[in-house]
Amino acid sequence: MATPREDVVKAKGLLEEREHVPEGTTMELHALLSCVREIVLTEETVQPWRDVVGLAEQVDTSSAAGVLGLMGAIEEASMTPLPPRGWLRVDLARTDFARAVNRAVEPVEAA
């Protein structure tokens, strides 16, 4: 079983090869966007997290490049000190979305 980090790296690679987000990932993508929108922004919230919330409001959910940009912004923001309340849910939702992308793109093996 792959680690969450490996799942995210693989999904990012698959999204880079595509123009559109794979079918079958809508639920996980909307869950990710919902978690991002629930981040609690305060005066202490660093700019990278503010950027993540802004991107989630603007992202074209059908565009692989747009979603890839959001995933990258989340990864970059997670390296900053003092993450805002709700960041862990975002990280878990990002992993769930990555796994959905990987499942949607992987060829189905014959039984």
3-class secondary structure, 20: strand
Beta-carbon neighbour count of residue 31 at 10 Å? 17
Evaluate the CA torsion angle 60, 64, 65, 70 in order and state its sign. Answer: positive
The domain limits of the chain are: 4-105
Q: Among 67, 57, 55, which Cα is nearest to 18's?
A: 67
Residue-wise pLDDT tens digits, 24-83: 999 999 999 999 999 999 998 999 999 999 999 999 999 999 999 999 999 999 888 888
Residue 69: what pLDDT?
A: 97
Half-sphere exposure of 16 (CA within 13 A, CB side): 7
Query: With b meaning 16 or more CB within 10 Å and e meaning fewer, what string describes 64-82?
Result: bebbbbbbebbbebbeeee
Is a pLDDT exceeding 70 seen at residue 99? yes
Considering only residues 111 and 98, tell me which one the structure prediction assigns the higher pLDDT: 98
Residue-wise pLDDT tens digits, 7-40: 999 999 999 999 999 999 999 999 999 999 999 9
Q: Is the pTM of this model over 0.75?
A: yes
